Chain A
Amino acid sequence: MNLTLKIWRQKDANAQGKIVEYPISGVEGDMSFLEMLDVLNEGLINKGEEPVVFDHDCREGICGACSLQINGEPHGPDRLVTTCQLHMRKFNDGDTIFIEPFRAKAFPVVKDLMVDRSAFDRIQHAGGYISVNTSGNTIDANAIPVNKEDADDAFSAATCIGCGACVAACKNASAMLFTSAKVSQYALLPQGQVEATDRVLAMVNQMDEEGFGNCTNTGACEIECPKGISLENIARMNREYLKASAKG
C-alpha cells in the first residue's frame, strides 16, 4: 500500500504545531498502525530527521499508553481496539490519513503526538481507592461474597485502561466516562460502600478542577472507547453523586 500521512508535529508544549505531510510506501496489511509509524520513523532517522514522537508501550491494547486521533477518531476507524491493535488492513492503497494528538485542554501536548494525561492520575489520587492497609491483616477473601452480576459489572467498569479516548471523542472534552468507571467499580462492590460518599464528591471535584468539560449525553465516548466501557457507568455516577450531595 502507498499512503499519504498528514501528521501533527510540535516541538514541545510551548511551540506552535503544524500538520506535516509524509508519503509512505510498502505498507502491509499485517502491520499494526504503530508498526507503520515505526517504518516511517526508521526512514526519518536514516535521513537525519527527528522521528515522530508518540506514546506507546505494551502494544497489546492493555497499558493505555497509545492514543492518536486518526482521521478524526480516537484510536482510528476500528471498534473496540486501541491504536496499537489497529491493523493497516483497515485502510486502502492511496488513502490519506490524518494523525493528530488527543485534543483537550486538560491534555496538553508534550511533543508531536504525545500528550500529558496526568490529570487522569490526579482524579484517581483524589479518591480512586479503598482505604485498606496493605500489610495483610484483612479478612478471608471468601468472607466477602459478591453477587456474580455485580462482580461482573464491577469488572467491566474496572477494565478501563485510562487512555483518554473518551475525552478526545467528546465535544466537551468531558472525563465523565473515565471517572465514572472507577466510581462504578467501587459502588458495585460491598468493599467500596464505606467511602462511597466522599469518593464520588472528591473525584468529581478533581475532574472539574482539571478543566474537563461537562457531559451532555451524546454518547461519543462509549462508541470510541476501546474497552467498551458503558454509558451506564455515567448514569450510576450521577446517582451516586446525587445521593452524596444530598447527604453532604
Chain B
Amino acid sequence: MAAFIVRRIGEGLATILVVALIAFALFRYVGDPVMSIAGPDATQSDRDELREQLGLNDAVPVQFIRFVAHAAQGDFGFSYRSARPVSGLLAERLPATIELVAVGATLSLLLGTGLGIVVALKRKSALARSILTVSLFGVCLPTFVNGIVLIYLFSVTLHWLPSFGRGEVVPVGGWTTGLATWSGLRSLIMPGITLALFQLAMLIRLVSSEMTDVMQTDFIRFCRARGLRRGSILFRHGLRNAMMPVVTVVGLNIGSVIAFSAITETVFQWPGMSLLFIDSVRFGDIPVMAAYLVLVATVFVLINLTVDILYFFIDPRLRLAPATAAAQGPANG
C-alpha cells in the first residue's frame, strides 16, 4: 500500500506542475496587469518601470521557474489589485468555500441516498416517478438559474432567507465559521441547496440502480432466508454494498463541486475562493488566478488520493486481496 500511495503522490505532483505550467502560459494572454495597476494616467515610462519591477520583462521560462520555486514554499506573491499576499487572501477565503462545499456535498449525499433508496424500493410508485422527474430539473437547469429562482422565491417574495453573503461568522482559531450563528446558517441554506442540486439527480439514479442490483443478489436472498430484519438487510447489508460506487463518485465529484461553486459563489456573493478568482479575472490579477488554479489542482489530486485510500477501508476484499494472493501464491505455484 505504501508503494502505491507514493506512486500516486508522485503522479499528483506531476499533475499539479502541468496545471501550473498551463495556467502560467494562459495567463500571459488574459490581459496586461500593468494597465490595470498603473491606471489610465500613467505615462509610458511609468508603465515600463512597473513592468520591470513586476518581473514581466524576464524570459517566460525564468518567470515560470521563479513562480514554481516560490509556490513550492507557499508563496504566491502579491495580489496586483490589493497589494496583499496571495496566500493570505486565499487562506481567508478558504473557510467559506470549504463550508459551502461540505454542506453542498453532504446535502446531496444525504438527499441522494435517501431518495435513491425510496426510488429503488418503490420503483413503480408515483412518488418514485415524481422524485425522478423533479430531480431532472436539477441537472437540466444551469446552476445560476437555480440560484436566482431560489433567491426570488425565498428572499424577494417570502423574505425568509438572505439573498447574498455569508451572514455573521465566528472566528475559530485561524478559521471562520458560519455554522455557529443563526444568520450564518440561514445564509448557507440556499447556496448549499443550489450546489447540491447539480449532482443530486445523478446521485439518486446511481443509488437506486446500485440498490436495485444489490437487492437482487444471492447474498441478500440468503439474508432474507436467514430471517434477518428488513431494516438490517436494507441498511447493513444492502446499502453498505451499494455505497461503494456512490462514495467514489461523490469523492471524485468534490472537485467538480468546488469548480461549480464558482457559479454558486457568484450568484450568492459567497465570499469564497472562487469569487476571489472571478473578481481577479476581471482585474487581470495574475498571481491570484495562478494560485487559485494550482490550489484547485491540488485539491483534485488530494481527493483522488483519498478516494483510493478509502477503498481500502470500505471494501474488505481490497484490503485482503494482496495478503490472500501472497498467502496463496506458493500454494498455487
Binding partners A and B: no
Q: Which residues of B contact A (CB under 8 A)?
A: none
